[in-house]
Amino acid sequence: MNTPVRLNNFNLVRLLLALLVLLSHAPELIDGNRGREILTRMFGSLSFGELAVDGFFLLSGYLIMQSWQSQPQAWPFLKKRLLRIYPGFAIATLVCAFAVGPFAAEPETYFNGLNVAALFTNMVFLQKPAVPEVFAGLPYADINGSMWTISAEFTCYLSVLILGVAGALVRRRVWLTVAVLVIAVGATARLSGVPIPGMRLAMLFLSGGTYYLYRDKIRMHGGIAAGVAALVVLCMFSWRLSELAVTTFGGYALIYAASKRSELLSQFNRLPDVSYGVYLYGWPIQKLLIWTIPTISPWSLFALSASCALVAGTISWYLIEEPALRFKGPRIQVRHTVLP
């Protein structure tokens, strides 16, 4: 019996966002600056990498709120989140530490300086791998600079869990109030030129969750999505307005594109969900290519790294992520009423 295909584009959109990160990082990891980063050159505000991370957190807020509302129970929710994040992250950490690291440094010196306790501590807390110096002489010598967002993502998951267990999500106005306050504070700080660390990602996640909770009130229409997308493009010329526009209007356009019912595009859901693996392995793959081919161009780097990251993401999905997700247990819908 064939499994029904989900008529949405969330997997496709997430993969495109992961590839945008690689596209953005390609010139920056070579040059050590954003002088050749495409979106930065066009607008002088956000990079494609920042825009992609914004998109990830908007979609995450929407989908994680959906996950909680479908089964508002602490342990099932937490178990699903742990199984989705940790196995792939842990293996990527070990690959970076024990495969990439020795190749990007003098092996004997590298292993003498490797603190295994610190490595595993960082793994538990979803931090970038703690390893000795690698890629000496190259810009951004981190072994995996993309991993910094994962702990922020998991913190957002925990916020949903805490609010849900406390009963605050039974009334969606509570979430809306928190979202409005955080976005107002974050926007004020951004407009003043002094952004608050961590506020940007919290704004995006809260905005995505709001779009889910009020999906019965928000009319999704292609014309509106095109209009707000155009408004976001105009705001991209301003560093101060760009993030606020992406958080609010951009959320509408992105969620419309991801949830649009399309028989053709939804066939992508038959393929493995490789976006997480592409994101986790994109940075070290790009660094290794620059390390071994110093004269590589940004476009060649993007093409080669995207191809390799897709392979790595597919391997991660079939060997690590999908087997781990089987431990979630049967999918049970335990919906409860969300009051105004």
Q: Are 13 and 267 in contact (CB under 8 A)?
A: no
Confidence of residue 4 (pLDDT cuts 50, 70, 90): low
Confidence of residue 197 (pLDDT cuts 50, 70, 90): confident
Burial of residue 14 (CB within 10 Å: 0-12, 13-18, 19+) is: buried
State pTM to two decimals: 0.95
Q: Are 86 and 316 in contact (CB under 8 A)?
A: no
Q: CA 178, 182, 188, 191 torsion: positive or negative? A: negative
pLDDT above 70 covers a percentage of the chain that reads 96
**Mean pLDDT, range 278-292, rounded to an integer:** 98
Q: Would the pLDDT of 258 be above 80?
A: yes
More confident residue, 24 or 268: 24
Q: Would the pLDDT of 210 be above 80?
A: yes
**Mean pLDDT, range 147-158, rounded to an integer:** 97
- For the record, the structure tokens of 98 come out as 């024990």
